[in-house]
Structure 1
Amino acid sequence: MPTTIEQDTSWMLDEVLRVPHVQHAILVTSDGLLHSSRGDLPRDRADSLAAAVSGLVSLAKNCERTLRSDAGQWWQGLDEYPWGYLMRVAAARNTVLAVVAGREVDMETLSVRVQQVVQRLGQAMAAAPRAGQ
């Protein structure tokens, strides 16, 4: 049974899935936990993707701190593969929206839709950090 946060955010993830060639959209906490998932990715693979996305975001943040003494916040990342793309966008405090899309996706349309969804998610997506973070 979906949690309240999953119910509150599912319809927003569905907005991203309406972009042609988008296959999956997930919300991930900074510690790698799956908030919610939409699309055709089985739960065990969505959990694995959430952990991987969290790791990629952590690496990106560490790179920024290494390169800049005035490091701010990480915003987004994009990985390109032979089969398509993995887009990661900071969505709210300690939360990331990750989107998997095929090569045929119109990246401009996807980028605009993701930004619109991220703006609307606001506090509904904010995840409190775990103790010690």
Structure 2
Amino acid sequence: MTYDMRSETTPVPPQGMSSPEQIAWLLNQFVADEPDVMHALLGSRDGLKLAFSDAMTRDATDSLAAAISALSSLATNLPGLSGSGVPVRQMLVERDDCLFFIVGAGATSAFRSHPGNTQGSVDTVLGVISRPDADVGKVGFEMQRLVQRFAPYMVTAVRDGGGER
């Protein structure tokens, strides 16, 4: 199966939002645009939530952030055919009630208050929950596009004015 890769007009977050708010906006837009997707969360590799879609409860975001971090770590450390850990592109967990998708989403400096942000950036993981009958190829493809859309908001812009406030 192939997916439409044409460059379509993609909505962008409104001006005036902080980078974390823009990422949350993109997650909400992703959930709204993908009919089979129910929830989306950007978490840190150390298991803390960074941004999430509005339909998720705070308790659910804590649990999902911890779970996607743990699964990502486990999958990265599987020896595979080469006998060593290799970066994982995508993970899928299939349950009777839903599908979990997990992909690495890169490093970000947008979450300065995150406890794991000791080197100026935090490694992130994107987790998505879909209906059990979702088209896994389409959801995976759209997740990769979402990660690409995160790029402008994953860094904190340099302040103009020579550091003056």
Q: Same fold (TM over 0.5)?
A: yes
Residue 106, structure 1, aligned to residue 121, structure 2: no
Q: Which has the higher contact order (CA 8 A, sep 6+)?
A: 1
- What is the rounded CA distance, in whole Å, between the counterparts of 1:56 and 1:4 in structure 2? 29
From 21, 28, 36, the equivalent of 1:7 is 21
Q: Does the CA contact (< 8 Å) of 1:27 and 1:37 recur in 2? A: yes
Residue 24, structure 1, aligned to residue 53, structure 2: no
- What is the rounded CA distance, in whole Å, between the counterparts of 1:63 and 1:71 in structure 2? 6
Identical residues among aligned pairs (%)? 33
- What is the rounded CA distance, in whole Å, between the counterparts of 2:105 and 2:152 in structure 1? 10
Higher helix share: 1
Tell me the matched-pair count.
123
> What TM-score, normalized to structure 2?
0.66
Counterpart of 2:53 in 1: which secondary structure? Answer: strand
Higher strand share: 1
Q: Which residue of 2 aligns with 1:95?
A: 124
Residues 90 and 35 of structure 1, relative CA distance in 2, 3 Å threshold: same
Residue 120, structure 1, aligned to residue 149, structure 2: yes
Q: Which residue of 2 aligns with 1:51?
A: 66
Deviations for 1:26-83, whole angstroms, at most 9, x for unmatched residues? Answer: 001010010011042210111111011111111111113x753564422210000001
Counterpart of 1:63 in 2: which secondary structure? Answer: coil
**Cα offset for 1:102?**
0.7
**Cα offset for 1:91?**
0.9
Q: Which structure: larger Rg?
A: 2
> What TM-score, normalized to structure 1?
0.80
Q: Does the CA contact (< 8 Å) of 1:23 and 1:101 recur in 2? A: yes
Query: Which amino acid is the alignment partner of residue 16 of structure 1?
Result: F
Which 5+ residue runs of structure 1 have no aligned equivalent?
127-133
